[in-house]
Structure formats: C-alpha cells, structure tokens
Amino acid sequence: MRNHHTHSSSSFSLIIFLFLFFISFSFSTSKLEPAKPKRKHSVSAILVFGDSTVDPGNNNYIDTIFKCNFPPYGLDFKNKIPTGRFCNGRLVTDFIASYIGVKENVPPYLDPNLGVNELISGVSFASAGSGYDPLTPTITNVIDIPTQLEYFREYKRKLENIMGKQKMEKHIEEALFCVSAGTNDFVINYFTIPIRRKTFTIEAYQQFVISNLKQFIQGLWKEGARKITVAGIPPIGCLPIVITLFSGEALTNRRCIDRFATVATNYNFLLQKQLSLMQMSLAHLGSKIFYLDVYNPVYEVIHDPRKFGFEEVFSGCCGSGYLEAAFLCNPKSYVCPNTSAYVFFDSIHPSEKTYFSLFRSLRPIYDSILGCF
C-alpha cells in the first residue's frame, strides 16, 4: 500500500498540481429523489471504486491538496455540508444507492466514524484524481486503484468479523459494484504530461488503460464481485476547464473540442467491446458485467440544455466558471444564484441536477440488474 503522506515541494510539481484540479469528472442532485422500484432481486450493499465522479470524501483523510471539504461545495447537500464530494450536492452513486434501497448516500470508506450499519450497507473506496494508469494517481498523490482493491479486501475482513465468513461471502455476492474512472488518465496524464505520449500513441494508450481496467475487474471478480457496472468516460472536450485550456477561442467562442470527443468515443467503444468479452467468459459462473454509457446522456444535456431545464453549459457555477475547481473554488469565490441552471458546478464537475439527469438515463440498467417490473 502506498504512503499518502509524501509530496513534492518543487515549483514544477506545484504548477502540475494546480492544473490537476482542472481535470477530473463527477456526477449528482439532492432535492430530487428517485422512486423506489418493485424488484425481483435484492442488493445487499453498494461498493464503489474510481475517481472524483464517485468519491464522497476519501481524499479528506489522505495527504493531498486534491480536496473539496469546504464551501461552496456541498451547497445543496443535506445541511449544506461540504462532505468532500466535488459537487454542490449528491453524486450519481448516491442516487443509485437510494434507488436500489440500500442507503440514501454512500459514505467514504476512510471515514473513521463509520458505524457498523453504514459499513455493511456499502461504502466508496474511490479517490478524486485517480485513474487506471498507475502513473495518474502519483501525479496528485491520491489513492491508486490497486490500493482501492486492497481496501476492499480489508473491508471484507471487517465484515467477516461482524457476520462470519459464509454470510460475508453471500453479502458480497449480492452487492452492487460500481466502477467509474478514466478521465484523469487522458486529460491530466496523457494530454498534459509528456511521459506517456513519448511511449504510446493515443490508440496504444487507450488499450493500455483498458488493460489495467480489465486487470482490476478480474481482481474484483476473484474477491467475489458478481454484479459489476463500469462507466465509460464523459465528453471530456466539453468540460469548461478543457475548453479554457485547449481551445483557441476560449473567451470568444466556447464550445466542445472535437479532438477530445474522438478520443472519448473511441475509448468507450473499445471499453464496451472488452466488457462484453469479459461478460461472455464469466457469465456461466454467475457474473454480470454492465457497461454504463455516460457520454451520450451528458452530451445530450450539453447540446440541448433547455430541454433539461439548464441555461449555462460551458462555464461552471463557481467563480468565473472557466478555471475554478478544488481550492480555487472556495468560501471566498462567487457562486451563481441558481445552481440548477448550470450543467457544471465548478469548471470540471457536473452539478447535482446534471447528475440526477444522468442517473435517470442509467436507471434501465439498474432495473435490469434488479429484475424490476
């Protein structure tokens, strides 16, 4: 397990760290509550792995500057608490947990105050800034994917102490596993730092990332996971920070950047193909692996915002909306008067309302998993 209490003090590293805040991706919505379905199959818990899209606050407990446990984050969360979610409210996984009936919000595994019931019904091991490429989390000094898997093994040992080995194994078999990462590998790592570009073409790097993801999914399966959902990456060329940094018309003509769109759609195609092959090879053993399309639902919101009740697409609610995220979006920052009018809360991460819209588009997948009728 890596030591998370080391960081570089060099000016170059500081510049890189500053930029990192401008490139991750997250989802959410709070006053909107998903209706509970009628279902044939029960889910015992929700267990989550990945990056800021699904990190409810694990980074609060490690030595990284990649945090957001301060206002205005959490502005629309219950009691306006800045939990460490990169959002004004809840994440997609919170809505999923509520929908499948296991809990209202998914807590971070590293929270030392977690009660037994909270632990049993599910946690997130995710860490904002992480990715499938082993190099990606070292840039931000966050929790890498193999360590998240190790934390899951530790979690299983805790459950075994509580309920015994046989019940624990049954509990894990009936749990829903959610995996969401990949954006940081491309935006922070490949397109920002030259190390990987010297070794990989973009096509080869996509295969490299998917190879690491495949290894992780196999690790989950070996540990008892049988219901696994894996999210693709969103339209990264439409993130406000990406438009600001990579567009030649960032101030005069803000719009999605096509070359990033191509990278994302090609990666998602390859990922979907790989997951289908894994599902075919494991189906006879009782495994279900589902690909989650997040690209098209978010793209639709961005390109037809008024249909979904949004007004502002290419800038975030916090600050200027062009650059601010993490510590640059802070208690002194300007905050828009109506968060629900914005697709993005900061320059990287969607607002809660966008996350709820995404959840609704993914709901048929979860209905399939639950055997809803």
- 168: exposed, middle or buried (C-beta count within 10 Å: 0-12, 13-18, 19+)? buried
Catalytic site residue 346? Answer: yes
For residue 339, CA distances in Å to 85, 301, 327 come to 15, 15, 19
Q: Indicate which residue of 24, 30, 44, 52 is catalytic.
A: 52
333 is catalytic: no
Query: Which residue is catalytic, options 346, 347, 351, 357?
Result: 346
Query: Which residue in the list 30, 51, 180, 349 is annotated as catalytic?
Result: 349
Residues annotated catalytic, as ranges: 52, 346, 349
